[in-house]
Chains A and B, each alone.
Chain A
Amino acid sequence: MLAKRIIPCLDINKGRTVKGTNFVNLRDAGDPVELGRLYSGQGADELVFLDITASFEERKTFTDLVERIAANISIPFTVGGGIHELKDVERLLKAGADKVSVNSAALKRPELIDEIALNFGSQVCVVAIDGKRTPEGWRCFLNGGRVPTDRMLFEWAHEANERGAGEILFTSMDHDGVKQGYANDALRKLSDGLSIPVIASGGAGTKEHFRDAFIEGHADAALAASVFHFGEIPIPELKQYLCGQNIPIRL
């Protein structure tokens, strides 16, 4: 049976992980390769590396990092941040990334999704969507939830699916960082309505939140950052728990 995936997300600034971690057994928690290797060893199913610098000069640093990740880590990984055109996608895939995630560039120019799917296959194209509840319903936002767009979440997710996205990574800006659980209603509506996998993001605080994202939210994968980085939820313990809840998990 296809397993539900657990995905730690690492924010990268100038080639280094951003959020502090409290892993005492790491020589250098700022090294994304070392942290990635630790998560892989703990049973993470995939990794996401998000380049939050994304300034033109620093892209080279990130590309070098992607090469080091590919050389050292034996599970699939997605890279995102600063991807504006096909050239960026090609550079990162050549460096060894398995998938790329596009967010604002796709909202500004949706054809980018078609181009990625056509040139490299749908499986490499993750469309990340930052959503927020507004009086008119769930709306897509840019720049970490600061800038509203004229796109509504469900319509945009459907369009991305139709254009050839391989997965949707949905972050609820209302739930992100609050640790009160994922946006399960919106997740379920996405998952039930789309023909591609949906990754839940934003809101994990407890092991039960992961269970709920899978059972109530029908998510195919769950992404989290701080609960892993600060060791609040060790991945082996989380996976044992989910397994005990009869969720298909790779142990």
Chain B
Amino acid sequence: MNIAIVKYNAGNIRSVIGALDRLGVSPLLTDNEEELRRADKVIFPGVGEASTTMEYLKAHCLDRVIKDLKQPVLGICLGQQLMCSHSEEGDADCLGIFDVPVLKFIPERHEDKVPHMGWNTIETKGEGLFRGFTGPEYVYFVHSFYVPVCEWTAAKTDYILPFSASLHKDNFYATQFHPEKSGGTGERILKNFLDI
């Protein structure tokens, strides 16, 4: 299987590559339009800041390329947020694949520390990325901004308020958490993506 990872100025892509390697897939890290279009599946990872990352994507025409992809695409963390319409982080206009804004967590109690960091449970419908999931599962999150629950919510998590831990629309899949850092549960999610 030909898996491409979108190459851009994001941190910690090595963990995503390592996780795929462990599933027996050697991904291609590329920002080349043709290579991304030809891949069977594309992963759009991300650790970073929304507005500077969007500027980088636009400057390299990757914004248009990602939006136009027809094969299954998986956005991770900042990747999920950039697939939405707009982010409060740096007041950035994003790709608009999911017509929903990205908002900043506002703590309500002392225990509501931001960033939301650590293992939290997701509630899923047992479909798509979460095929075979029958109950809540723990996955690893690190983020200060969130996507509200909306019509494309594929998994939900409660922290300060219920938010979208995962989105799905047509060929676009996304997770706010890091499947590549979520132990065995994360491996099952990545495997499900590879099997789509």
Chain A residue numbers with a CB within 8 Å of B184 are 74
B159 touches A2 (CB 8 A): yes
Stretch at the interface among B94-102, B118-126, B167-175: B118-126
**Contact, CB under 8 Å: B159 / A93:** no
**With A96-B12, A196-B113 given, is the CB distance from A70 to B18 under 8 Å?**
yes
Which of chain B's residues has its CB closest to A194's CB?
Answer: B113
Nearest CB in chain A: distance from B13 CB, A: 9
Q: Is A232 an interface residue (CB 8 A)?
A: no
Tell me whether A121 is interfacial, beta carbon within 8 Å. yes
Check B118–A3 contact: CB distance below 8 A: yes
* A71 with B181, Cβ < 8 A, contacts A93-B11, A197-B113 known: no
Total contacting residues, chain A, CB less than 8 A: 31
Whether A98 pairs with B14 at a CB distance below 8 angstroms is: no
Chain A, 47-80, CB within 8 A of any chain B CB: 67, 70-72, 74-76
Complex: how many Å from CA A51 to CA B91? 40
Closest to A3 in B: B119
Report yes or no: A220 in contact with B19, Cβ–Cβ below 8 A.
Answer: no
A94 to B12, CA, bound (A): 7
Question: Is A206 part of the contact surface with B, judged by Cβ < 8 Å?
Answer: no
Q: How long is the Cα–Cα vector from A50 to B48 in the complex, in angstroms? A: 25
Separation in Å of the B106 CB from the closest CB of chain A?
A: 13
Contact A166 B14 (CB under 8 A): no
- Complex CA gap A34/B182 in Å reads 18
Pairwise interchain contact A120-B140, C-beta atoms closer than 8 A: no
Mostly helix, strand, loop or mixed at chain A's interface? loop
Number of residue pairs A-B, CB distance < 8 angstroms: 82
* Bound Cα distance A197, B111 (Å): 9
From B19, B21, B107, B158, contact of A1 by CB (8 A)? B158
With beta carbons under 8 angstroms apart, the residue of A1, A5, A75, A94 that contacts B183 is A75
A70 and B138 within 8 A (CB): no
- Describe B's contact surface by its main secondary structure: mixed
B31 at the interface (CB under 8 A from A): no
In the complex, chain A residues 227-251 whose Cβ is within 8 Å of any chain B Cβ: 250
A130 interfacial contact with B, CB 8 Å: no
Contact of B120 among A2, A76, A93, A195 (CB under 8 A): A2
**Contacting pair B181 A76 (CB below 8 A):** yes
The chain B residue with its CB closest to the CB of A221 is B118
Chain A minimum-CB-distance residue to B114 = A195
Known A40-B183, A45-B118, A197-B113; 14 more pairs at CB < 8 Å: A1-B121, A3-B120, A5-B119, A45-B119, A71-B14, A71-B21, A74-B180, A74-B186, A74-B187, A75-B182, A96-B12, A120-B11, A123-B117, A196-B113
A residues near B (Cβ < 8 Å) are 1-3, 5, 40, 45, 67, 70-72, 74-76, 93-96, 98, 120-123, 166-167, 192, 195-197, 220-221, 250
Shortest 7 CB-CB distances between A and B: which pairs?
A96-B14, A250-B138, A71-B18, A3-B119, A250-B119, A123-B142, A76-B181
A-B CB contact pairs (8 Å), 26 listed: A1-B120, A1-B121, A2-B120, A2-B159, A3-B120, A3-B138, A72-B22, A74-B180, A74-B187, A75-B181, A75-B182, A76-B140, A76-B178, A94-B14, A96-B12, A96-B18, A98-B142, A98-B181, A120-B11, A121-B48, A121-B49, A122-B115, A167-B117, A195-B114, A220-B118, A250-B138
